[in-house]
Structure 1
């Protein structure tokens, strides 16, 4: 991709009036130009404000004034969202796999049957389409896991995602996690590190000896100097609590890299006394926790014929303990979750409805919490933050989190990278125009 065009100091009237200047999408030869002033919108607290951006960083937040490069009256401006746990190599594969609605093991079996024949080109194409969905909905930062695949080229999916990561780096930030299997040899891990993976991952709770697998993965993380993001205790009940060994090992090793525990479904079904013990251990180890409500609501609890549990960790207790919590969508229209919109506000709605969080905590889990867990600096409409934003046509934050529709404007690093315009007219449109 060519470098950015030199930004004019005068406001761009095309951007100001209609967003028609967005010509740049995947495969383009030019990067969208940097914005200097974003004006006229409301912030999460309802304040009308103008934002000044220099070199992708917010340098001023002022009361609303004259229109600037991008004028957004009637829009609510928030920090762009972070997807802390995706599986781009699996995304949009539901139509290609043996479609069997079921639990985690059913999904694994269906996926592996397809993955044996899957090519790197397929991963690249489906993943690119998925990224377009994420970007259009206001997600500009993604951490994606990439399986060590069955077959002769176990890193073909990893290579495809690394290529994609590098191609879109001016439009969104992508971190690639090597998702190892218990039988993945150290040489494959070394090859993936040489290719440039960002994070090391695995699934100790699915192994016959979760303790041994946890220690092996920590050894590899230390050896290669990579952060660690583990699928952790993605099952109900307290029969497997591999998170406790993870906490013990992180503390004993004095691990400097960021360690993340994703899923942690079992934390939602522990008795209060045991939960308090585990949460204290998580806090002492400094782990970040990632909740993935839509996928775990789909997968977990199928063996309960009545009083089905939610499949969501004890979010309020984790937050009250000062633990960094992020939330995302996990799988997208694949054997592990045949649904999903790649929309952060689908996740916030579920955090409120099924996770019983308030709106501020739900929003933080898909914005600030995600960036903290991923080890990234803050973004959003605050001085000194990275200029990553999503603007939504909505009257209030509650309306946004409920899922306001597809009209979005997305800015990444001060660049206008996506816009979706919706023209809705119904026989009841007169009601929509009336003030409440």
Structure 2
């Protein structure tokens, strides 16, 4: 989709997270200057000015771990709740009969919802399916990516289980996928399955993004992934890493040291893992979350994604990065700034995207939200937002609230 909409060259009067009120100049999709409010030259064309007085201006968010092919399928499937393997079975039964058009409709709608919330980049895992047409999901997401080109960046990871032949996975790359991944910890021979995906990524020089140790009691593949890809120049990520959050400290810290040494990116998925994990623990239910605090303190490349949205793996979720950040604070004990970094600049870094935000030289991917501070933005997640991608306004949401019965207003509110 070509960019034909609003392309401001000056953003005026925005608040930054550090409290400054600034003017931001943009040229060619890049932030060229950030100066105190009222000091930037005013363009002669008033249509080139975007007034953001009363808005907090942040880097646009990014979702490094999504499943757009599964999004919004809960109502059609109605799976049993709170069981990862039952969710897999339920999804595969539905996937056997779903059409490419069905996937396109749900994925396209969900991607636009992500965009309206502020995410201008999404890495989506897409299942390589069973049967005679295994690339239905891949073809659907390539179509969605083309439909939304210019509005947002979509990266496709071909996600395959151990019963999908290697040749079929490789054909997904030929069909337009950007990388490969799987859930080797669920395979009968986890390390052999991990090596299969490492081999595919190595041969095709593509992104490798594995679902890793997504349980409370198995630590099988994360350490092996770190060891086997240490020194790689291509992009490698590990999603979930739930077991890392429940390991005893000495073993956890040794594993984290290996992760840091390998430079693989760790992607937490709080809402889905908090939902799926721990149902069989009647008391003192453990948190289904990776060791976010320790990973950040150790210097790991760390990000977080919304993961599943109203599908068999999570019946809820808004795909709002501010929701993900909130969960990192309340469940992962990160501070507000760390949590937002994980869903913005940290997510982009793990996805190997250029730096974005209201900083000179950065890509002009920006989120303006009606809030006075970052803590207010994360706490309230105001729906009043303007989203900018490469210097173009690509989404605008406005809200209004009235209290017809509240007359006259209390003195304190006037």
Pair 1:40–1:269, CA change in 2 (3 A): same
Larger mean CA deviation between 59-68 and 45-54 belongs to 59-68
Aligned mate of 2:346, from 369, 377, 389: 369
Aligned mate of 2:111, from 114, 131, 137: 131
Instruction: For residue 136 of structure 1, give the secondary structure of its aligned residue in structure 2.
Output: helix
Aligned mate of 1:157, from 130, 137, 147: 137
Gaps of 5+ in 2: none
1:250 shift after superposition? 1.0
State the partner residue of 2:22. 49
Pair 1:41–1:150, CA change in 2 (3 A): same
State the partner residue of 2:297. 320
Q: Scaled by the length of structure 1, what TM-score is found?
A: 0.90
Q: Tell me if 1:246 matches 2:219.
A: no
What does 1:285-434 correspond to in 2, within 5 Å? 285-426=262-403, 427=405, 430=409, 434=413
Instruction: For residue 177 of structure 2, give the secondary structure of its aligned residue in structure 1.
Output: coil
Pair 1:433–1:234, CA change in 2 (3 A): farther
Gaps of 5+ in 1: 5-30
Measure the CA separation in 2 of the matches of 1:409 and 1:397.
16
Pair 1:295–1:433, CA change in 2 (3 A): farther
Larger mean CA deviation between 126-135 and 99-108 belongs to 99-108
Measure the CA separation in 1 of the matches of 2:205 and 2:354.
20
What does 1:69-148 correspond to in 2, within 5 Å? 69-148=49-128
Q: Tell me if 1:35 matches 2:12.
A: no
Instruction: For residue 77 of structure 1, give the secondary structure of its aligned residue in structure 2.
Output: strand
What does 1:222-261 correspond to in 2, within 5 Å? 222-237=202-217, 239-251=218-230, 254-261=231-238
Measure the CA separation in 2 of the matches of 1:337 and 1:64.
44
Deviations 1:94-149 (A, max 9, x none): 11113321211121111111111011110000001101110111111000000011
1:432 shift after superposition? 11
Aligned mate of 2:176, from 193, 196, 219: 196
State the partner residue of 1:221. 201
**Residue pair 2:158, 2:179 contacting (<8 A) in 1 also:** yes
State the partner residue of 1:210. 190
**Residue pair 1:104, 1:299 contacting (<8 A) in 2 also:** yes
Deviations 1:289-329 (A, max 9, x none): 00000000000001111110111111111001110100111
* Pairwise CA RMSD: 1.6
Pair 1:160–1:41, CA change in 2 (3 A): same
Measure the CA separation in 2 of the matches of 1:149 and 1:347.
28
**Residue pair 1:348, 1:402 contacting (<8 A) in 2 also:** no
**Residue pair 1:34, 1:55 contacting (<8 A) in 2 also:** no
How many residue pairs get matched? 405
Q: Which runs of 4+ in 1 moved over 4 A?
A: 427-433
Instruction: For residue 311 of structure 1, give the secondary structure of its aligned residue in structure 2.
Output: coil
1:434 shift after superposition? 3.8
Deviations 1:10-69 (A, max 9, x none): xxxxxxxxxxxxxxxxxxxxx324221111110111110111111100000011116861
Instruction: For residue 390 of structure 1, give the secondary structure of its aligned residue in structure 2.
Output: strand
Pair 1:395–1:33, CA change in 2 (3 A): closer
Instruction: For residue 84 of structure 1, give the secondary structure of its aligned residue in structure 2.
Output: strand
**Residue pair 2:178, 2:207 contacting (<8 A) in 1 also:** yes
Q: Scaled by the length of structure 2, what TM-score is found?
A: 0.95
**Residue pair 2:388, 2:395 contacting (<8 A) in 1 also:** yes
Instruction: For residue 112 of structure 2, give the secondary structure of its aligned residue in structure 1.
Output: helix
Instruction: For residue 95 of structure 1, give the secondary structure of its aligned residue in structure 2.
Output: helix
**Residue pair 1:40, 1:50 contacting (<8 A) in 2 also:** yes
Measure the CA separation in 2 of the matches of 1:214 and 1:280.
20
**Residue pair 2:138, 2:176 contacting (<8 A) in 1 also:** no
Instruction: For residue 411 of structure 1, give the secondary structure of its aligned residue in structure 2.
Output: strand
Measure the CA separation in 2 of the matches of 1:224 and 1:431.
66
